[in-house]
Structure 1
Amino acid sequence: MTVETMDPVEVFAAGEKGRGLRVTKELSAGDVVFAEASFAAVVFDSLSLQVCHSCFRRQPNPHRCAQCKFAHYCDRTCQRAAWDEHKQECSAIRKIGKAPNENVRLAARIMWRIKKDTGLVSDAQLTTLDLLEDHLSKMTPEDLKELKVDVQHFYSYWPKKSKVVGEDYVSHIFGVINCNGFTLCDQRGLQAVGVGLFPNLCLVNHDCWPNCTVILNHGIQTALDASFHSKRRIELRALGKISEGEELTVSYVDFLNVSKDRQRLLKQQYYFDCKCEHCTNGIKDDLMTAGREGQKPSAEVLKEVTDFSLQALVKIEEARTKGDFHEVIKICRECLQKQDPVFGDTNLHLLRVLSPASEVLSFLQQFDEASGYARRMVEGYAKLYHPNNAQLGMAIMRAGVTHWHAGQIEEGHGLICRAYAILLITHGAHHPITKDLEAMRTQTEMELRLFKQNEYVYHSMREAVLSNKPMSVAGEQVQIKATS
C-alpha cells in the first residue's frame, strides 16, 4: 500500500463519534476505497489445527510447526512467509508449554510489532495504536475482570528477557482489541476463523445502513513473491456512489436485528449509542416483526409462536453441534409449521429457521425441499438487506447452488447471476469467491442453453456432472465438475 492509494480519504472530526474518515473524491459502487495489511492477526483457538496461521485459509491437512507444534500452515511457503511474525511467538509458546488464548496471542503479536516498527508501519497508516479508543472507563465490572485475567496471562506469556511493558499500556491494547478487532473469514467467506487489527479501518465509524463493506483478501497463493502469497489485507469497498466529502461507514453488527437489539449489541460491544437513521426511525423494524399478510393474529398468539421459535432455535443449535442433522430438520419443520400461518416472509424468527433448514437439507442432499426454503429465505433477505450487502450476495449464491443441485436450472442460473452482480461490488472480480461464482455462472449458462434446446441432452449432461464423468457436447469431450 502506498501513500497514493490512500489519497481518496482523510481523517476528520466526526462530532460525538470522535474521529472518522471521509472521501476526498467521488467514488462508485465496487471501488476500493483503500486496502490495508493487518498490523497483527491470529487464528481462533478453536480452529488453530485447521486454518493456516499465515494466510488464514482453511486446509484439510495443514503443515505443523515442528518447534512449537501449535502453528499450522498451508505449506512451507506460508510457513517461511510467517516466520518473521511467528518466531518470537514460537519461542514463547515453547517456554510455557502451551499457547494462551487468542486475545493474549494477539496482544503479544501487537507488542512485538510495536517493538519492531514503533507502532507506525507505513506513511499510509493514518493513526497509531496509542491513539485508538480502548473504552476501559466504560467497561462493566465483569468485562474489566476478564480483561485483568488476560493481562495476567499476558505477563505469564511475555518473555522475561523482552522489554517490560506497563500494565496500563497492556490493558489499553486489550481494550483496543475488544473494541476494534476485525473478524477474519476463510477463503470462502463462510466462516470466521480469526481476528486482526487494522489501524486505518479502526477509524471508520458505524452505520446500520453503511456506504462501505470490508472483505479480507487472502492474496495470491501461487505468486512467486511470498509477501503476496500470505499478506492478510482487508479491502474497504464502496457499496454505491459516495460523494466527495461524505463520511465512510461500515456496519459493526448484522443488520438483521430490530433497531433496539442492534443498539443494545452496539452499546454492549462498542460502548456507544447508535443514532443512525435506521435506528432513530426504526426503519424496517415493521418488516422484521411482520405478521402473515392478510392475517391479524392476536398478541397472545404472536407471543406463543415467538416463544416457541426462540426455544426451537436453541434446540436447533444444540442438535447441529451434536451433528444430529435429522433432529435439526425435524425441529425446523415443526417450527415452520407453527410459524407459517402467523409470521410474514420477512419476519426474523421465520428467516432464522429457514436458514439452517435449507443448509442442513442441502448437506443431507434433500435438494428439492432445501431449494424451497432457500428461495423463501432469499426473498425475505432481499426485502431487508441493502441491495449490495455481502451477506445477501452469499445467501443468494448458496440458494443458486441448491437450486442447481435440485435440477432447477433456470432458477439456479438466475440466482447465481444475481449473486455474481453483488459480489463483484462487495468482493471484486479477483476474489476467490467471485472467481468460483463466475465459473458457476458459466457452467449454469451452458446448461441452461442445453436445457432450452433439448431437455433429454440436458438431463444426460446432469448425470455426467453428478458422477463427475466426461461427456460429449457438440462433438467435443468436456469435463464439468459438480459445484458445492
Structure 2
Amino acid sequence: MENVAIFDSPGKGRGLKASKEFWAGDVIFSEPSIAAVVFDSLAERICHSCFRTQDKLQRCGQCKFAHYCDRTCQRAGWAEHKQECASIKSYGKVPNENIRLVARILWRLDKEGSMMSDMQIVTLEELEDHISDMQEDELKDFKVDIHNYLDYWPRTSKQHTIDDISHIFGVINCNGFTVSDQKGLQAVGVGLFPNLCMVNHNCWPNCTVILNHGNQSAVNTMFHSQRRIELRSLGKIEEGEELTVSYVDFMNLSEERRRLLKTQYFFDCTCEHCNNHIKDDLKMGGREVDGVKPTEEQVKEATDYCFEMMDKMDKARLNGNYHEVVKISKECLEKTEPVLSDTHIYQLRMWSTLSEVQAYLQYFDDAADYSRKMVEGYMKLYHPNNAALGMAAMRAGVTHWQAGEIEIGHGMVCKAYAILMITHGPLHPITKDLEAMRMQTEMELRMFKQNEYVYHSMREAALKNKPMAMMHEPRSVEEGIKNLFHRKK
C-alpha cells in the first residue's frame, strides 16, 4: 500500500490519494477479501471457495450447504467454512448471506485481530456503519438480522457486544463489495475489502475496481490464489491526486445518481458531472435530422412511451418469452427511433436488450445492427476506458463475427481489447479470452481481404460441420446495471 496515502478529502471525510504518478492500466493496489460468501440464491450453483460457476458441484458432507468444485477447492475454503459448517449444523438451518458474512468476519477478527495483514491500512472499527442514517424500514430488517445472528452464533465462540455486531452489519450494508464469478460476468456473492472502503466516489472517476480470482488449481490447494480486487487507473493520475471510483452507473441521469447515492450510501454527490448535469441533455435528447430537432413535447411523449414499453419488455424477458421481447421492442423502436437521439438512455437499453435476445435466438444480423448502435451511443456517454463500454464492444464484436461481418467484428474486438487491457489487465480470464478472439478475427480478416469468396465458402462449410452453439440465455433485468458496492435488497 505504499502507492497510496490516507488524507482528509474536502467535503467527503477520509479518502485515499496517490503517493506517486500512475498511468492508464496501472494497478494502484490489490487486496484480498477479509471474508466473502456466495449469494443465497446461487448457493448450489457457485463454488463457495473459488466462486466459479460449475455444472456439477460437490456438497459439504457435514452441513449439506456449502458446494465446491472438488476436494482441492473444499480444502482451500476450509479455513473460512470450518466454524460456519458446525454452526449451520447446530442451528439447523442456513442464515442469510449478510448473517453468514458477518459471522465469517467476526470469526476471523477473533482469530487474527483487527489488523490481519501488513497491507491493511484501516481497521473495521474505523469504517463508517451509517446506522444512524438508516430509515425506519431498513432498521427493522437490520434488527431482524441481528436477532437471527444471535441465535446462529455458537455459544462456544467468543461473545461480542450488540454494538460491535451492529457495527459490522452496518459496515457490510454500505461497504460490502459485489463479488463476481471467474469471468467477471455475473454477480455471485458479497465480500468485504477494508482498504477499498477508503476510496471515495466520483461519477467520472479516475480508477476502476475489478475482481481477479487469479489462477485456481485443481491439483493442489497451495496454488489457489485468494479472491482479490485490483484498483486500476483509468488514465494519468498525478502524485497527490485523490483516487476515486464510481459507486453507481454513469448511465443514470445526475438526479437519479444523486438519489441512489443518498439512499444507498448516505451522502450528497457534489461532483462536477452532478452539479452541472453533464451529458443529461444527451441521455434524454431528441434526434436531430438536417438541423431540425423534435419539440420537447414530442421527445417527452416518445420517452414516456419507451418507458411504458420497457416495462412490458422486462416482464416478457423475465418470463423467458423472447419472441415477445423482440415484438415489443421493435414496435417501440419503430415509433421512438425517429424522435429520440442515439444517446437516449431508454433507447440504448432497448438496443442492448434486443441485441442480446436476437443473438440468443440466432438472428445475428439484427443482433449485430442493434449492438453497433448500442456501442456508438455508449461511446458518446461513457468514459473512453469504462469497463461497461469495453464489455459492450466485446459483445458487439462477437455478434458481428457471428453475422459474418468480419471487418466490423474485428474492429469491435480490438476496441474492447484495448479497453479491457486497462480495466481488467492482461492476466484477467476475460482479457485472455478476448485476446484469443482478437487473434482469431485478425486471421479471418486476412483471409477475407485475400479472397472474399473463398473466406465465405470456408466459413459456411465450417458452420455446417460445426453449427454455432446457442448463446447463453439472457439474464434477468436485475443483472443489467449493477452498483459497485453490494446492497441487501
Q: TM-score range by the shorter chain?
A: over 0.9
- The alignment status of 1:429 with 2:433, answered yes or no, reads no
Match of 1:323 in 2: 320
Mapped partners of 2:116, 2:62: distance in 1: 28
Question: Residue 468 of structure 1: CA displacement?
Answer: 6.0
Match of 1:417 in 2: 414
Letter in 1 for 2:80: E
Match of 1:311 in 2: 308
Mapped partners of 1:467, 1:66: distance in 2: 46
- The alignment status of 1:402 with 2:399, answered yes or no, reads yes
Match of 1:74 in 2: 69
Mapped partners of 2:465, 2:104: distance in 1: 45
Question: Residue 223 of structure 1: CA displacement?
Answer: 7.7
Match of 2:373 in 1: 376
Mapped partners of 2:62, 2:416: distance in 1: 44
Any conservation in 2 of the 1:219–1:228 contact (CA below 8 Å)? Answer: no
Larger deviation: 286-295 or 427-436? 286-295
Change (3 A) 1:130 1:465: farther
Mapped partners of 2:3, 2:225: distance in 1: 26
Any conservation in 2 of the 1:465–1:482 contact (CA below 8 Å)? Answer: no
Change (3 A) 1:249 1:227: farther
Question: Residue 229 of structure 1: CA displacement?
Answer: 2.1
Q: How many residues are matched?
A: 470
Any conservation in 2 of the 1:466–1:482 contact (CA below 8 Å)? Answer: no
Change (3 A) 1:130 1:225: farther
- The alignment status of 1:135 with 2:121, answered yes or no, reads no
Q: 2:108 aligns with which of 101, 110, 113?
A: 113
Match of 2:477 in 1: none
Letter in 2 for 1:176: V
Q: Please give the per-residue CA displacement for 1:96-132, whole angstroms capped at 9, x wherever unaligned.
A: 2221111111111111111111121111100010110
Larger deviation: 429-438 or 447-456? 447-456
Any conservation in 2 of the 1:468–1:481 contact (CA below 8 Å)? Answer: no
Question: Residue 338 of structure 1: CA displacement?
Answer: 2.1
Match of 1:151 in 2: 146
- The alignment status of 1:25 with 2:12, answered yes or no, reads no
- Which structure 1 residue ranges, 4+ long, deviate > 6 Å from structure 2? 480-484
Any conservation in 1 of the 2:359–2:471 contact (CA below 8 Å)? Answer: no
Mapped partners of 1:320, 1:186: distance in 2: 23
Any conservation in 1 of the 2:251–2:381 contact (CA below 8 Å)? Answer: yes
- The alignment status of 1:266 with 2:261, answered yes or no, reads yes
Question: Residue 466 of structure 1: CA displacement?
Answer: 3.0
SS in 1 for 2:420: helix
Letter in 1 for 2:90: K
Mapped partners of 1:468, 1:267: distance in 2: 55
SS in 1 for 2:209: strand
Higher relative contact order (CA 8 A, sep 6+): 2
Q: Please give the per-residue CA displacement for 1:195-251, whole angstroms capped at 9, x wherever unaligned.
A: 110000000000000011000111202386635425101000000010001111000
Unaligned residue ranges in structure 2 (runs of 5+): 473-489
Q: 2:91 aligns with which of 86, 89, 96?
A: 96
Change (3 A) 1:40 1:460: same
Change (3 A) 1:289 1:481: closer
Mapped partners of 2:203, 2:419: distance in 1: 19
Q: Please give the per-residue CA displacement for 1:317-352, whole angstroms capped at 9, x wherever unaligned.
A: 222221111111111111211211211000001011
Q: 2:203 aligns with which of 203, 208, 211?
A: 208
Q: 1:301 aligns with which of 295, 298, 303?
A: 298
- The alignment status of 1:388 with 2:394, answered yes or no, reads no
Letter in 2 for 1:183: T
Superposed CA RMSD in Å reads: 1.8
Letter in 1 for 2:184: G
Change (3 A) 1:483 1:141: closer
Mapped partners of 1:428, 1:468: distance in 2: 35
SS in 1 for 2:178: strand
SS in 1 for 2:339: coil
Match of 1:194 in 2: 189
Match of 2:341 in 1: 344
Q: Please give the per-residue CA displacement for 1:240-288, whole angstroms capped at 9, x wherever unaligned.
A: 0100011110000001011111000000000000011111111111111
Q: Please give the per-residue CA displacement for 1:163-213, whole angstroms capped at 9, x wherever unaligned.
A: 112111111111101111111111222211111100000000000000110
Letter in 2 for 1:424: M
Change (3 A) 1:468 1:95: farther
Any conservation in 1 of the 2:46–2:54 contact (CA below 8 Å)? Answer: yes
Change (3 A) 1:177 1:225: same
Mapped partners of 1:464, 1:446: distance in 2: 17
Letter in 2 for 1:384: L
SS in 2 for 1:110: helix
Q: 2:30 aligns with which of 10, 35, 38?
A: 35
Unaligned residue ranges in structure 1 (runs of 5+): 1-5, 471-479
Letter in 2 for 1:273: D
Sequence identity of aligned pairs in percent?
65
Change (3 A) 1:94 1:246: same
Match of 1:476 in 2: none
SS in 1 for 2:30: strand
Question: Residue 298 of structure 1: CA displacement?
Answer: 3.6
Change (3 A) 1:307 1:192: same
Mapped partners of 2:143, 2:470: distance in 1: 51
Mapped partners of 1:29, 1:225: distance in 2: 35
Question: Residue 467 of structure 1: CA displacement?
Answer: 4.8
Mapped partners of 1:469, 1:313: distance in 2: 36
Match of 2:281 in 1: 286
Match of 2:486 in 1: none
Change (3 A) 1:358 1:331: same
Letter in 2 for 1:179: C
Letter in 1 for 2:338: P
Q: Please give the per-residue CA displacement for 1:408-455, whole angstroms capped at 9, x wherever unaligned.
A: 000000000000000000001011000000000000001001111112
Larger deviation: 436-445 or 224-233? 224-233
Match of 1:447 in 2: 444
Q: 2:331 aligns with which of 331, 334, 350?
A: 334
Mapped partners of 1:325, 1:268: distance in 2: 34
SS in 1 for 2:179: strand
